[in-house]
């Protein structure tokens, strides 16, 4: 009996050890950004970076996304969960968030000995998708982007006055589409989609605030929601798809328009993972 228990005990030990390797993050202690890195076994793991939205904190480090995180790590990716505001050591508001600071945190993760620093992909939701697109359009070593209900332009920061950009780059705030007079009644009603639609009628501001997604040097997946109650995400994804057609090099690009509201695309992660496996393979 004891001879039977020994291999069973050893097998359970291996399972528990493997689980702890998958779930225990490495805190990279990056200035201004909470950076939690998850790595599996093996070397040269491509880096996936998760960026949450306007809820703040570090959404990708939460228990809600644990199974998805662990699946991606088991698939051979290293996963970096980034909190860029309302997390420990980060700004309290989504206001003039520095692209340079976020990118520096990503580069810190690429210096881990098990991470392949030449293969970086970003996955962002909502305002985190905007951040992912802004980063990839400025830093050419980012080779893949998944934008979930993202925008084709920069919008104001989430302050009480809405007079500053959500983002900054090299010390200057990025141009943004302001809250115009037409949007104010909808904001007072809590009708966010109508408010964003009204803001987007300012065509001069839209031109200035456009995210240059055509500069992204890698695969792009745009996931939108056809009945999005927060913003016209399908319309904005179509704008970005038009821009992507202007790229001189042919990188993979795809738009998935999901039936449902703002959160509906989160129920379609198998499609996102398939896109990653095809266009940003771990092995």
Residue 176's CATH number: 3.40.50.1820
Q: Looking at the domain assignment, is residue 6 inside a domain? A: no
- Residue span of the structural domain in which 138 resides: 26-280
How far is 49 from 111, CA to CA, in rounded Å?
14
Per-residue confidence band for 10, with pLDDT thresholds at 50, 70 and 90: very low
Q: Looking at the domain assignment, is residue 15 inside a domain? A: no
Q: Looking at the domain assignment, is residue 255 inside a domain? A: yes
Q: What is the pLDDT of residue 137?
A: 97
Q: Looking at the domain assignment, is residue 17 inside a domain? A: no
Query: Average pLDDT, whole number, for the chain?
Result: 92
Q: What is the pLDDT of residue 249?
A: 83
Q: Looking at the domain assignment, is residue 21 inside a domain? A: no
Q: What is the pLDDT of residue 118?
A: 95
Q: Looking at the domain assignment, is residue 7 inside a domain? A: no
Q: Residue 27 pLDDT more than 90?
A: yes
Q: Residue 13 pLDDT more than 70?
A: no
* Average pLDDT over every residue of 133-144: 98
Give the number of domains in the chain. Answer: 1
Q: Looking at the domain assignment, is residue 174 inside a domain? A: yes
Q: What is the pLDDT of residue 23?
A: 57
Lowest mean pLDDT segment, chosen from 6-10, 155-159, 187-191? 6-10
How far is 246 from 260, CA to CA, in rounded Å?
29
Q: Looking at the domain assignment, is residue 70 inside a domain? A: yes
Sheet of 142-148: strand order equals: 26-27, 34-38, 78-83, 45-51, 115-125, 142-148, 219-225, 253-258
In angstroms, what CA-CA distances link 57 with 50, 81, 128, 167?
A: 12, 10, 11, 17
């Amino acid at each position: 009996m004891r001879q039977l228990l020994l291999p069973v005990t050893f097998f359970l030990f291996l399972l528990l050890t493997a689980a702890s390797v998958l779930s225990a993050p490495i805190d990279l202690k990056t200035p201004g950004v909470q950076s939690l890195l998850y790595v599996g076994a093996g070397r040269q793991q491509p880096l996936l970076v998760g960026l949450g939205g306007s809820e703040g904190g570090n959404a990708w480090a939460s228990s809600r996304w644990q199974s998805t995180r662990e699946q991606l790590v088991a698939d051979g990716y290293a996963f970096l969960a980034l909190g860029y505001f309302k997390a420990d050591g980060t700004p309290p508001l989504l206001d003039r968030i520095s692209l340079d600071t976020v990118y520096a945190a990503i580069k810190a993760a690429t210096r881990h000995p098990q991470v392949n620093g030449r293969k970086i992909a970003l996955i962002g939701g909502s305002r985190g998708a905007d951040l992912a697109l802004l980063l990839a359009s400025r830093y050419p070593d980012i080779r893949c982007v998944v934008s979930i209900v993202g925008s084709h332009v920069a919008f104001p920061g989430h302050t009480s006055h809405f007079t500053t950009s959500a983002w900054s780059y090299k010390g200057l705030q990025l141009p943004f589409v302001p809250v115009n007079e037409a949007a104010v009644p909808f904001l007072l009603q809590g009708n966010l989609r109508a408010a964003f639609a009204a803001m987007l009628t300012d065509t001069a501001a839209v031109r200035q605030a456009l995210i240059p997604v055509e500069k992204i040097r890698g695969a792009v997946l745009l996931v939108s929601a056809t009945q999005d109650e927060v913003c016209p995400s399908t319309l904005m994804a179509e704008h970005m798809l038009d821009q992507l057609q202007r790229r001189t090099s042919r990188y993979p690009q795809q738009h998935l328009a999901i039936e449902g509201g703002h959160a509906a695309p989160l129920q379609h992660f198998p499609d996102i993972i398939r896109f990653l496996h095809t266009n940003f393979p771990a092995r």
